[in-house]
Amino acid sequence: MNRRQFSRSLLAASGAALLTNPLRQAMATEMDTAFPNVGEPIKIEGAPRKVTLAWSADSICTAAFPVAQQKGFFKKYNLDVNFIDFAGSVDQMLETMSTGKADGASGMALRWLKPLQQGFDVKLVAGLHSGCLHLLAPQNGSIKTIAELKGKTIGVGDIGGPAKNFFSMRFKEIGIDPEKDVNWRQFPEDMLPLALKRGAIQAAGLDDPLAHLFQTKNQLVSIDSNMEGKWQHIACCVVGLRGSLIRKEPMVAKAITQAILEAGQWVHHNKMEAAKMFEPYAPKVSAQELAAILETEGTHEQSVGKQLRDNVVFYADELKKIGVFPQSLNSETYANKVTQDLFTG
């Protein structure tokens, strides 16, 4: 059973037991929002412009994509969008865009940033939201904070994945060496709760939706996440477009981005209805359960232009500290290379 099949089966099995953690919910309550200024809506003239977007249909994080389709945001911008449910590697997704088989996609920044060093003709154009990475520990266990994991073992589904890299950066922030002071063990993601129960690990790093679902099903709590401190304002999931589209049809690129961001803003203010729209992609899961996951994420955090570029510079600087990027990397140059400002100048 692959990750997608497992996450869908766990969603189905969770049933009414899925409850929102009050602390996590509080982080994503309605607040004054400052969505980015992307100018007047761009509507492509003539026949609807056919566009292909790749997305991961097993993740509620990408709810803005089906919402943009079903609520008419793509139509508003005269876009005729076809979705590719992409289950391959990030390199394959970036190659799909580079070669023109897809015009754009959404994914986790920490999955995209390292592969983008390889020179794919793909540009990051927007940050869609923050949040969705969590460090889980037993609810009644002795570990209550990330600092208490010094000398302990943490389980992750991918030793080179976003959870391991993100929480390595978090350890570095508080003066703990993520390689010398912490042990990392890789397990199939569905085995992480059992590893915690048996004491093989003392915490588990996961991204949503599994992180949220494991909490409620296995009496776990989130002791740290990328909704803590400055990270709550940093894009977790990003939107990328193929470079050739941006160069040859900048108005189409802008229209796609505007439609997705507008849909994301609608999701922020209408989480329950957005969850209902996502239900077909998560069979047997109630809208209440899906909305509970959206409540834990920073759906009010979007970024474009300089803010997105600054996010990437910040990521690059932090990734250099844990050895993912070489010390010789110029973070400013890298950010300028992999991002594109569609809305100024």
Task: Please determine, for residue 18, whether its predicted confidence score (pLDDT) is greater than 60.
Answer: no
Task: Please determine, for residue 52, whether its predicted confidence score (pLDDT) is greater than 70.
Answer: yes
Q: HSE-up of 203 (CA within 13 Å, CB side)?
A: 28
- Contact indicator for 123, 116 with CB cutoff of 8 Å: no
Check residue 283 and give its pLDDT: 61
- Looking at the chain, the whole-number percentage of residues with pLDDT higher than 90 is 67
Phi, psi for residue 343 in degrees, rounded to 5: -120, 0
pLDDT band at 345 (very low <50, low <70, confident <90, very high): low
Task: Please determine, for residue 202, whether its predicted confidence score (pLDDT) is greater than 80.
Answer: yes
What is the Cα–Cα distance from 214 to 209, expressed in whole angstroms? 9
Task: Kindly state the average pLDDT of the residues 232-260.
Answer: 95
Taking only the tens place, the pLDDT of each residue in 101-120 is 999 999 999 999 999 999 99
Task: Please determine, for residue 214, whether its predicted confidence score (pLDDT) is greater than 50.
Answer: yes
Check residue 41 and give its pLDDT: 82
Q: How many residues does the chain have?
A: 345
- Looking at the chain, the whole-number percentage of residues with pLDDT higher than 70 is 89
pLDDT band at 210 (very low <50, low <70, confident <90, very high): confident
Regarding beta strands 183-186 and 237-242, do their DSSP bridges make them parallel or antiparallel, or are they unpaired? unpaired
What is the Cα–Cα distance from 11 to 330, expressed in whole angstroms? 42
Task: Please determine, for residue 11, whether its predicted confidence score (pLDDT) is greater than 60.
Answer: no
Q: Which two tokens stand for residue 264?
A: 């994301």
Average pLDDT, the chain: 88
Task: Please determine, for residue 280, whether its predicted confidence score (pLDDT) is greater than 60.
Answer: yes
Phi, psi for residue 179 in degrees, rounded to 5: -105, -35
Check residue 115 and give its pLDDT: 94
- Contact indicator for 239, 257 with CB cutoff of 8 Å: yes
Task: Please determine, for residue 27, whether its predicted confidence score (pLDDT) is greater than 50.
Answer: no
Task: Kindly state the average pLDDT of the residues 138-142.
Answer: 93
Task: Please determine, for residue 21, whether its predicted confidence score (pLDDT) is greater than 50.
Answer: no
Taking only the tens place, the pLDDT of each residue in 152-164 is 999 999 999 999 9
